[in-house]
Amino acid sequence: MGPQTSNEINERIEAHLPLVKHVVFQVAVHFPRHVDREELARAGALGLVEASRRYDESRGVPFERFAAQRIRGSILDAVRAADWAPRSVRLLARRLEATEQQLASELGRVPTVAEMAQEMGVGVDELARLQDRLFRSVVLALDHETGDDGEEDLTLVDVLTDRSAVEPSEELETRELHNYLRDAVKLLPERQRIVVVGYFLESRTSQELAEFLDVTESRISQLRSEALRNLKLGIEAQYDGSEEEAPAGRVAKRQAAYADSVSSASDWKDRLGRWDTSYDVPDEPLLPVVRA
């Protein structure tokens, strides 16, 4: 038989592409879930190309059988090349898995660490060291999808968030919000400001505040609710970009004036430039210290 032409090779490859998917399905069940199936398919496709180029029909071997072996070998070679863990670790993994499955079948439950150690003929500490060695050998790709239900396409990059690091945009938003809050507290009516600072920042009780302002505790509760409502409306107004009609009514006008005063209390550069996001509590307490 003469040499194969490029068209014959290409036609054979295209006709047997489903074979790659079939072999990947067969071998993938033996690999951990973090192994990318798309990578296996790409390696298998390279094996199919090699098989098509090297196939010799005169030997009497069906192409499907010849190609399947080449595809499988190409996949295994790719996995070994990407796996930095030694063969001993992989043998250990299979041994641990087989032992756990055997005990679970015999006991009807998940075996304990002590039972696993006894079955394997090692001590509990030695088993822990073996498991630690195995766990450290697992390498996950950052683009590996972690979602099981298919509803969210989450990868390791999405779920492995560094909680100690803050995005610059998030830092600026937090800085701006805290400085709006600082200005809003300072601009509250005097009695509301005293209640907010005393209750939330100086940990004063309603009774102490009531005695200081010479009012009832229920009035303190009312002042606190009014102050929190003003703070909420005043700060929300800074983020509401819609143009509203001029407020009607005395209360609405007073709230609008308060929101405007919060907006003009400091320049945006000052708000974003301040790193300190805590409220400025004066050195001297707002209320006299009550001692027993």
Between 17-28 and 63-82, two packed helices, what is the crossing angle to 10 degrees? 50
What 3-state class would DSSP assign to 145? Answer: strand
CATH 1.10.1740.10 residue ranges for the chain: 6-82
Q: In the prediction, which pLDDT does 164 show?
A: 63
Q: Which residues pair with 155 in a beta bridge?
A: 145
pLDDT at residue number 158: 60
pLDDT at position 113, please? 85
The tokens of 159 are what? 């779920």
Low-confidence ranges of the chain (pLDDT < 50): 1, 142, 277, 281-284, 289-292
pTM, two decimals, is 0.41
pLDDT digits (tens, 9 = 90+) for 251-282: 788 888 888 888 888 877 777 766 554 555 44
Residue intervals of the chain classified under CATH 1.10.10.10 are 87-146
In the CATH hierarchy, which top-level class contains the domain 87-146?
mainly alpha
List of residues 6+ apart from 138 with CB closer than 8 A:
32, 34
State whether CATH 1.10.1740.10 applies to domain 6-82: yes
Which residue has tokens 């320049």? Answer: 267
